[in-house]
Every structure is written in structure tokens, then in C-alpha cells.
């Protein structure tokens, strides 16, 4: 149980500066990811889950910007490197990536962090073969390790002339043969039949499920410590969803990496995760272990989410949808109060103030005034609850 933290996210905020105004997509988010665990982030669409994922890898694109926060990542070597130079960015074995340079953050993509995206079809370049794109991911790391100086260089020694030739001639030498062989091996590892042959196929010649496997292979190319999976199964058929989840499970067991799993699907969370954060309107409103959040939920929003899943064992009660929809996160329209108050069945006057995050028991915490009062009541409730279940 004493798994160490791999990543500590503190007060992370990401905003988009659009023509219509400032959008607070991620607002002051805190969470930890431990070694070898699956941390789930669950929420409705538009709650800021994906932007959180992009923020972790520094992939937020203009007009978006990470406006504040710290990303403490545990890496002894990096910490040693920065201890002298920038002592304020180092805390024990942890380094605050936000205080490092963009090149450092880029060099960590692959060997430290990697990502599986929602829609495999649009996340592969349509004009390059799948194999070449995976080999490219291997090659980046190979070049980085053979020549650490060029790790953070702009082109990794892949010069302008080659780049121009590469525009017209596809396979012009960025990828080396070993990397190709490694890519075929990766394809095999993720269960793609005839990997050597499929190497030369283009994305549009793959099925959705196979392409998602290929994307997992690409994400594994740098042997990452942390895999961020953003809705990895949403675009797939139900039967294939299960296959991909099993694949992620197996790979995690094999490599011991951590996974941040982002989904709107509570079933996926329940099946995969050790700990969970529930996101609403850019904030993590409740977090804790899977059991704490699912069985002793405090925040009315989490309760609402759980109440909107059909229960096969007890189909009688009508599903309880949450009334209304997620606010649009436009800064001008966000007042300083609980964002869920409009839709909350238990809203009270206090909710017009911003609720602090209140620690419950263990790791369980919620941003809701009810956490103080109701938590201790709900402590009693489960006993009755479990008795009732036992009676059935």
C-alpha cells in the first residue's frame, strides 16, 4: 500500500483565451498519481477532463494556456540535474516540470509520459503508414539516448535538406532499421496479427479497434512511466472496448507503469481504477479511492452521476438524470460560488460561497459544504445499506 507518488499535481489551472472571452477549462486542480496505479478522472463532456490530460503532457494548444500550477514529477536524475541550477524547482526527488524548460518537458514525452487519444483514426497522420509513425516514436527515443546532446535540439540532427526531401519522398531516413524492427515488435505486443505486414498499412486500412491497439503500441514506444489514456474506448464498439481495457490492464501488469484514465464512463472507472477524481466544471469536486468515491460519495454531483447508471439487478427505480447541463465555463459568467449549485438538489444558502476542499477520511476529499455535516451521517448509512443488500 506504500506505493510512492509518481506525479503530484497542485493547483493546476488551464484557460482558453477565445474571441468570446476567457474560458476556465481547468481550475485549480490537485491530485496525485502513484507508481503502478490507475488513477481515473471521470466527468461529463465539457468538464475539463481532456484539457487536464493535455496539461499533464504540456500539449495545450493556443488559444489555451496553463496559467498556474505545479507538476511535481519524481525523477532522480532530473532532480539531480536541476538541484544546482534551479533549486526552487526541486523538492527531494521531485521536479516541478512547470519550472523547467519546454525542451525538458518535450524530452520527457515518450520515456516518462505518453498518451493514448480518443479517436485513433484522426490521431494518426493519414498520409504516413502506421508502422512508420510508431517507428518514429521509437526513433525519437533512440536518437535521444544515443546522442543526449541532441535530445533537446530542435531537429535531432535531422537537417533541413532531409526535411525538404521528406516532404516529397516519404521514407527519407528519419527512421532507422532497428526502430522499424522495434515497431513491428510493439505491434505484435499489442496483439495485431501479421505485424510485419500491417507495418506498411495506412491508418484508413485499419479497423478502429486495431488502430487503437496500434496507438497503444505507439504510446509504449518510449517505455513510459505514466500513460495518459484520454477516453481510449469511447470511439469503439462495446466488445472492442473490453479488449482495449484488457490490453491496458495486461500491459500495466507487465510494465508496472502508472495510468491516468480519463473517461465519462463510470463502468470503465469501476473496472480499471484504484483511485478516482470526479471533475465538474473544471474542478475536481471529489476524490479518493474507488470505494470511497463510489460507495460513500459525498458530493451531490457524484451521487447524481452514480444515480444515472442503470442497475441490472434492480431495474425498477427510474434512472435519476442530473437536471440541467454543465455550465459553459466562460470566465465572465462564472461567479465565485459552487458551480454545481444550480443543478444541485441539496443546494443551500452556503453554496453561494466558494466551497473549500474538505478532507473526509483517508484520502477522501470533496469540494462541498455537505462533506462536513453529511459525511459523518453517511458513515452510518452504509451499514444499513449493506444490511439491506444482504437481505435481498
Per CB under 8 A, residues contacting another protein are 16, 18-19, 23, 25, 46, 48, 51, 54, 57, 59, 61-64, 106-111, 114-115, 117, 119, 122-128, 133, 136-137, 140-141, 144, 153-156, 158, 163, 166-167, 174, 202, 204-205, 215, 218-219, 221-222, 329
Distance (Å, rounded) from C-alpha 246 to C-alpha 210?
14
Closest CB to another protein among residues 136, 176: 136
Closest CB to another protein among residues 158, 274: 158
Nearest distance in Å: CB 263, another protein: 17
Is there a contact between 6 and 74 (Cβ–Cβ < 8 Å)? yes
- Report which of 272, 314, 303 is spatially closest to residue 290, judged by C-alpha positions: 272
Helical (H) or strand (E) element with 230: strand 226-230
* 72-102 burial code (b ≥16 CB/10 A, e <16): bbbbeebbeebeeeeeebbeebbbbbbebee
Nearest distance in Å: CB 258, another protein: 16
Nearest distance in Å: CB 52, another protein: 11
Q: At 239, phi and psi to the nearest 5?
A: -65, -35
Closest CB to another protein among residues 55, 297: 55
Nearest distance in Å: CB 379, another protein: 37
Nearest distance in Å: CB 145, another protein: 12
Closest CB to another protein among residues 219, 366: 219
Closest CB to another protein among residues 185, 202: 202
Closest CB to another protein among residues 200, 361: 200
**194-203 contacts at long range (C-beta below 8 A, 24 or more positions apart):** 198/130, 198/131, 199/129, 199/130, 199/131, 199/132, 200/129, 200/131, 201/129, 201/130, 201/131, 202/126, 202/127, 202/128, 202/129, 202/130, 203/120, 203/121, 203/124, 203/125, 203/126, 203/130
Nearest distance in Å: CB 259, another protein: 15
Nearest distance in Å: CB 140, another protein: 5
Closest CB to another protein among residues 46, 288: 46
Amino acid at each position: 500500500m506504500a506505493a510512492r507518488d509518481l506525479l503530484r499535481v497542485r493547483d493546476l489551472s488551464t484557460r482558453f483565451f477565445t474571441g468570446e472571452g476567457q474560458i476556465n477549462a481547468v481550475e485549480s486542480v490537485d491530485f496525485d498519481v502513484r507508481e503502478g496505479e490507475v488513477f481515473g478522472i471521470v466527468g461529463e463532456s465539457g468538464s475539463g477532463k481532456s484539457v487536464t490530460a493535455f496539461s499533464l503532457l504540456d500539449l495545450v494548444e493556443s488559444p489555451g494556456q496553463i496559467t498556474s500550477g505545479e507538476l511535481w514529477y519524481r525523477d532522480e536524475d532530473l532532480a539531480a540535474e536541476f538541484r544546482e541550477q534551479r533549486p526552487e524547482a526541486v523538492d527531494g526527488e521531485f521536479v516541478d516540470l512547470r519550472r523547467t524548460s519546454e525542451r525538458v518537458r518535450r524530452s520527457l514525452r515518450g520515456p516518462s509520459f505518453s498518451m493514448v487519444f480518443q479517436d485513433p483514426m484522426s490521431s494518426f497522420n493519414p498520409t504516413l503508414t502506421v508502422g512508420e509513425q510508431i517507428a518514429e516514436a521509437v526513433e525519437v527515443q533512440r536518437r535521444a539516448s544515443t546522442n543526449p546532446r541532441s535530445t533537446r535540439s530542435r531537429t535531432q540532427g535531422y537537417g533541413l535538406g532531409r526535411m525538404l526531401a521528406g516532404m516529397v519522398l516519404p521514407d527519407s531516413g528519419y527512421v532507422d532499421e532497428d526502430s522499424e524492427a522495434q515497431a513491428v515488435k510493439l505491434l505484435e505486443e499489442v496483439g495485431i496479427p501479421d505485424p510485419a505486414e500491417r507495418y506498411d498499412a495506412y491508418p484508413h486500412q485499419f479497423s478502429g479497434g486495431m488502430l487503437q491497439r496500434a496507438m497503444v503500441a505507439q504510446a509504449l514506444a518510449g517505455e513510459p512511466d505514466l500513460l495518459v489514456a484520454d477516453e481510449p474506448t469511447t470511439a469503439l464498439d462495446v466488445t472492442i472496448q473490453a479488449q482495449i481495457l484488457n490490453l491496458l490492464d495486461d500491459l500495466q501488469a507487465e510494465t508496472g507503469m502508472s495510468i491516468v484514465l480519463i473517461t465519462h464512463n463510470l463502468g470503465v472507472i469501476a473496472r480499471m481504477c484504484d483511485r478516482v477524481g470526479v471533475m465538474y466544471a473544471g474542478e475536481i469536486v471529489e476524490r479518493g479511492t474507488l470505494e470511497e468515491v463510489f460507495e460513500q460519495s459525498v458530493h451531490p454531483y457524484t451521487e447524481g452521476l452514480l444515480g444515472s447508471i442503470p442497475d441490472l439487478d434492480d431495474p425498477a427505480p427510474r434512472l435519476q438524470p442530473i437536471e440541467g447541463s454543465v455550465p459553459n465555463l466562460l470566465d465572465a459568467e462564472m461567479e465565485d460560488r459552487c458551480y454545481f449549485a444550480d443543478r444541485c438538489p441539496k443546494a443551500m444558502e452556503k453554496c453561494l460561497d466558494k466551497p473549500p476542499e474538505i478532507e473526509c477520511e483517508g484520502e477522501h476529499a470533496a469540494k462541498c459544504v455537505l462533506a462536513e455535516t453529511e459525511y459523518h451521517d453517511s458513515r452510518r448509512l452504509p451499514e444499513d445499506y449493506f444490511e439491506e443488500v444482504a437481505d435481498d
